[in-house]
Amino acid sequence: MKKIMLDCSRLKERAAMRDYMAGLFGFSEEDGFTGNLDQLNDLLSEVTEDICICISIDGFLTAAGASFSWTVLRILMLGAGGNPHITISLV
């Protein structure tokens, strides 16, 4: 299982989040990921590699205080809930 320590500071702005998520999950240019959160949710449903997204408590609390970061975390949680290959762990 691939473990990813999520850097919540990279979720504050759409462009930074887009590049970060593309790198983490290996979204290709053919996927055309633009940073759209509905599209992120769709792409997460297609992940077939077992991945554990680890989120520090401090990162989680910081993201909870920022609207866009919190929305991205919610999308990641929804993606994990709909895809057995993705788990989320608070560390």
> What is the model's pTM?
0.85
Class of the CATH-defined domain 2-90? alpha beta
pLDDT per residue as tens, the chain (91 positions): 899 999 998 998 999 999 999 888 888 667 778 888 999 999 899 889 999 999 999 988 888 888 899 999 999 999 999 999 999 999 9
**Is the Cβ–Cβ distance between 75 and 35 less than 8 Å?**
no
User: What pLDDT, on the 0 to 100 scale, is given for residue 33?
Assistant: 85
Domain positions in the chain: 2-90
User: What pLDDT, on the 0 to 100 scale, is given for residue 84?
Assistant: 95
Between the CA of residue 80 and those of 30, 34, 85, what are the distances in Å? 23, 20, 8
Residue 44 burial (C-beta neighbours within 10 Å; 0-12, 13-18, 19+): buried
User: What pLDDT, on the 0 to 100 scale, is given for residue 86?
Assistant: 94
